[in-house]
Amino acid sequence: MGRRRSEAVTLGDVAKRAGVSIATASKAINDRGEVAAATRARVLRAAAELSFQPNVLAQGLVAGRTRAIGLLTDEFDGRFAIPILLGAEKALSDQEMSVLLCDTRGDAIRRNHYIRTLLARQVDGFIVVGDSNDVRTSLTADLPVPAVYVYCRSTNPADLCLVSDDEGGARLAIEHLIALRRKHIAHITGPQHYRAARDRVAAVHAVLAEHDLPLAGGQPLHGEWSQRWGRHAARLLVATAPEVDAIFCGNDQIASGVVQALTGLGRRVPDDVAIVGYDNWEIFAADCTPPLTTIDLNLQQLGTTAVAHLAAALSGSRAAGVVRQPCRLVVRESTA
């Protein structure tokens, strides 16, 4: 207990060792003021020898920036927050900034607590990672620092929200299938109460209409986001619309289940039926036989973009509105 650091090496120690005053040492280390190159080198060497850690905290006091940002997430175990976090962390570390991670578990009390804690730590900004589905009540009014909302929408239109372009992703998928001359395209996806599912369905209808094609099965099949539902839905679909020659699935789990069921029914993928998944969740998309063509959400890029916007906001120019991050078609053998 007691003193944490065995011998808290202070700027004074460095100065003494370098044979200069504390002031000069400070200037040398922070590259400020006028310090002769030789002196500066001596100070730096002394600092290195003592493995001096400038007390960022005290310096932050005056300098104003802590070079840390708070990342608030509602549902960290969800699959989507992680790549976003990863991208953000990478982008931040490129700018020598740190991430303070907080998972609210969807609990408002925890969230407020975290916000207080992070503010007490003087974070320079917030990244709020949400659940694409629901709308986040805006925190911006309570914050003295900028915030960027990622993978969710804020209630305040003046906030900046980065979301995945679901319409664009679905469009990519369907246009890919149409380019492969498939005429009977079906859509198996997740629960209708997911905004992402609804947006993609809208795009599916739009693109098919543009090409005068029907939706095989008449309407999209809504179920869970699971392999099981994929298997079930595929059997349903083959029974009711045997002419189906392509299926666009709401995620890779469903797609993986669909492939299993189709294979079980003797339909060949992609020869008889082409399959496109969604999310590019490697563990499902690449492990499937055949590997799945799918839509990559560029989640890591989303995190990176969020950091870029935050950095912009920190230097004064803040954007607003909903920004859609384009998706990317990843072609594998399930449509080859």
Rounded CA separation 71/69 (Å) = 7
* Interaction of residue 29 with DNA, rule CB under 7 A: yes
Token pair belonging to 134: 């629901």
Q: Which one of 1, 2, 4, 32 is in contact with DNA (CB under 7 A)? A: 32
Q: Which one of 21, 30, 93, 112 is in contact with a second copy (CB under 8 A)? A: 93
Of the candidates 90, 148, 130, 151, which has an alpha carbon nearest to the alpha carbon of residue 318? 148
| CA distances in angstroms from 263 to 81, 118, 155, 241, listed in the order given | 33, 52, 45, 17
Q: Which does 23 bind (CB under 5 to 8 A by kind): a second copy, DNA, none?
A: DNA
Token pair belonging to 280: 């590019």
Report the amino acid identity of residue 96. Answer: E
CA angle at 324 for the pair 157 and 89, rounded to the nearest 5°: 95
* Interaction of residue 6 with a second copy, rule CB under 8 A: yes
| CA distances in angstroms from 78 to 73, 83, 129, 240, 252, listed in the order given | 10, 10, 11, 34, 15
| Least gap, CB of 19 to DNA (angstroms) | 7
The window from 81-89, 161-169, 201-209, 214-222 that contacts a second copy (CB under 8 A) reads: 81-89
* Interaction of residue 109 with a second copy, rule CB under 8 A: no
Interface with a second copy (CB under 8 A):
1, 3-6, 53-58, 60-61, 64-66, 68, 71, 76-77, 82-83, 85-86, 89-90, 93, 96, 98-103, 110, 113-114, 117-122, 124, 144-145, 226-228, 231, 253, 260, 264, 283, 287-289, 315-316
Interface with DNA (CB under 7 A):
8, 10-12, 19-24, 26-27, 29-30, 32-40, 52-55, 58-59, 61-63
